[in-house]
Chains A and B, each alone.
Chain A
Amino acid sequence: MNEEYDVIVLGTGLKECIISGLLSVDGLKVLHMDRNGYYGGESASLNLTQLYEQFRGGAEPPKELGANRDFNVDLVPKFMMANGKLVKALVHTDVTKYLEFKAVDGSYVFKQQKIFKVPSNDAEALKSPLMGLFEKRRARSFFIYVQDYELDEPKTHKGHDLTKMTMAELFKKFGLEEGTIDFIGHALALHRDDSYLAQPALPTVMAIKLYKDSMARFDTGSPYIYPLYGLGELPQAFARLSAVYGGTYMLNTPDAEVVYDEAGVACGVSHGGQTAKCKMVVGDPGYFPEKVKKVSQVVRAICFMDHPIPNTSDSYSAQIILPQKQLNRQSDIYVLSCSFAHNVAGKNTWIASVCTTVETSDPESELGPGLALLGSIKEKFVKVSDVFAPKEDGQTDKCFISCGYDATTHFETTMVDVLDMYTRITGKVLDLTEKDPSQIEGQ
């Protein structure tokens, strides 16, 4: 322990593990510690015993739920966009070889108290009961425009400068109705609120293209994929990458504390009366209570069920987005479900989670509209989490701190944070496109 490292990473959440892996591959000497005896931190997947320890004060899990080891319950449930940044990072680092994925069966959106399959291209738009006859045609032209749009081919822009034009203006060009705009903005572009409408259209158009490309990648019922055995496999896989490149791992260090020099710059981490020296410390907000600020609150309910979510064609896994406008809220409510088909629960058990950004003093009841879609629930575990962000960028105190996990149901914002941290730490930009499969094909 009394050694010197380039970097000490605290917490084995997904973000920390990706950073640890990338830095080890870069040749830095990394020590990676966690207060807990398991990998994953906030983004761990827990077995039944661990789950009941955290939510039920250590009570014995009911026998009828099944074997402890069959459960891998995500604390922060999310799906991966099949063509998104996390998949690119997995391919880039070759970490894919430790993991197996399965597609998520369905992607749905909530409108007027019902749920509908999300149409993602021109052909699906024509068939979707979400829109009336004339609206379908308008939506079809919009989808064709987005599909054809290429940033570096001006002729596909059709005279619209998406870096200047707002998204609201682009929608207006195609004459789209409010209900259509609602599902495109929230269920395809995956915006959490409506602030995007007043901003330049380009990021939203690219987000819709990402959804469509992700759909096409594996040709399944949704743009999402999910690892067998739960999201907790992701930090473990990146931790292994780090270890394979020389990273040292120490779990179960509850007393780990950052040590600062007289100028307040991080210079090591102490544990068990010893101090490991380092040039910088990377970690999740939990290790730097003085250096982070609360930016929002997220409420999540994890529900065990013995049936799929009703009206999802008996999907073993699905996502439902409830856009804020449909609920008179500021932020969307997200529902995700997974099951034994992804090896996260015992036979014939589904795990659904409902989550949103907290807006009132009664967070649990805010989940009501989402919970109402689930049908009968056997067990429910509710947690309200504060989301923290670092106050500074780490350049002066050499503490590079990740942001907490927001309410989004995908990893795009997670990866934006990771890539930003990587740049702050190394001064380099990580180019994930290098091994992008579509590039390799030379398309």
Chain B
Amino acid sequence: MAGNPSAPMQAKLVLLGDMGTGKSSLVLRFVKGQFFEYQESTIGAAFLTQTVSVNDTTVKFEIWDTAGQERYHSLAPMYYRGAAAAIVVYDITSTDSFNRAKSWVRELQRQGNPALVMALAGNKSDKSDERKIPAEEASAYADENGLFFMETSAKTAANVNELFYEIARKLPKAAPTPAPAGGIVLNNQQNAQKKKSTCC
């Protein structure tokens, strides 16, 4: 399966960061090219997918949003499970959100898989007149902790695609967490196939 060039490589990507840093907006901008000034807290989307091609590989991102479970620090281990990449988001106009981003990085180092590709995104770069976190400070922190760093704006789309493409480029060539043999995925289609043999 690994040698099949036409099949895109699946990669689970998780978003982390405090409420209001623009996690969902980044995803919406990347996946749908949209931006809403007053984005509702994430409702009804389990995860979004988007496929990108870099070099000669195609990566299909399965992007998990926190669904608000970060609010009281109640993210489940399942959230981190099998993630190939993570984007830790902070708001460049909020010192608090930057400090909290550091604690999300520590959480990832503890819970995530060791080969995880980690990105640090300083979002809301369009509001540079309200900036509290100098880009140099964030960049130095990212270097020390093995993350790559970009400032982004979901509003203007600055660096948003670049962020996801850079992650795609950094992913190891082989799928990071291949499904173990014999796995069963419960869905209607699969059951439809299976049923045929026992049909009367």
Cross-chain contact B186 with A251 (CB below 8 angstroms):
no
Cβ < 8 Å to B, chain A residues 86-143:
87, 90-91, 94, 96-103
Determine whether the beta carbon of A441 is less than 8 Å from that of B180: no
Q: Are A251 and B45 in contact (CB under 8 A)?
A: no
CB nearest neighbor in A for B77:
A236
What per-residue 1/0 map shows which CB atoms of A214-227 lie under 8 Å from chain B? 00111100000100
**CB nearest neighbor in B for A342:** B180
Contact A244 B45 (CB under 8 A): yes
Interface range on chain B (Cβ under 8 Å from partner): 35 or more
Q: Is the CB of A217 within 8 A of B76?
A: no
Chain A residue contacts of B195, Cβ below 8 A: 217, 437-438, 441, 443
Would you give the 0/1 interface string for B18-61, flagging 1 where the beta carbon is closer than 8 Å to chain A? Answer: 00000000000000000000000111111100000000000000
Closest chain B residue, CB of each to CB of A100:
B183
**Contact partner, B43, options A101, A217, A244, Cβ 8 Å:** A244
A343 to B183, CA, bound (A): 12
A180 at interface, CB cutoff 8 A: no
Residues from chain A with a CB closer than 8 A to the CB of B76 are 39, 236, 239-240
- Mask: chain B, 161-200; 1 = CB below 8 Å from A; 0 = not: 0000000000000000001101111111001101101110
B-chain residues with CB within 8 Å of residue A244 when the two chains form the complex: 42-46, 67
Q: Which of B68, B69, B183 has the most CB of A within 10 A?
A: B69
Task: State the CA gap A229–B198 with chains docked (Å).
Answer: 30
Partner of A103, one of B42, B74, B184: B184
Report how many residues on chain A are interfacial, defined by Cβ distance under 8 Å. Answer: 46
B165 to chain A, nearest CB (A): 25
The contact of A91 among B81, B179, B188, B197, by CB within 8 Å, is B188
Q: Does A435 contact B (CB under 8 A)?
A: yes
Residues of chain B within 8 A (CB-CB) of A94 are 46
Instruction: Report the minimal beta-carbon distance from A311 to chain B, rounded to whole angstroms.
Output: 22
Residues in B neighbouring A74, C-beta threshold 8 A: none
Q: Do A219 and B197 contact each other (CB < 8 Å), given the known contacts A251-B72, A437-B192?
A: yes
Q: Which of A230-283 contact B (CB under 8 A)?
A: 232-233, 236-237, 239-241, 243-252
Question: Any chain A CB within 8 A of the CB of B71?
Answer: yes
Instruction: State whether the Cβ of A440 lies closer than 8 Å to any Cβ in chain B.
Output: yes
Contact of A240 among B46, B180, B192 (CB under 8 A): B46
Which B residues lie at the A interface, using CB under 8 A?
41-47, 67-69, 71-74, 76-79, 81, 179-180, 182-188, 191-192, 194-195, 197-199
Chain A residues engaging chain B, CB cutoff 8 angstroms: 38-39, 87, 90-91, 94, 96-103, 216-219, 225, 228-229, 232-233, 236-237, 239-241, 243-252, 341, 343, 435, 437-438, 440-441, 443
What are the 5 A-B residue pairs with the smallest beta carbon separation, nearest first? A437-B191, A243-B67, A249-B74, A236-B76, A236-B78
What are 30 sample pairs from A and B whose C-beta atoms fall under 8 A apart? A38-B77, A39-B77, A91-B186, A94-B46, A96-B186, A97-B46, A98-B78, A99-B186, A101-B186, A102-B184, A103-B182, A216-B198, A232-B77, A236-B76, A240-B69, A240-B78, A240-B79, A241-B46, A243-B68, A244-B43, A244-B44, A244-B46, A246-B41, A248-B71, A248-B72, A251-B72, A251-B73, A341-B180, A343-B180, A440-B192
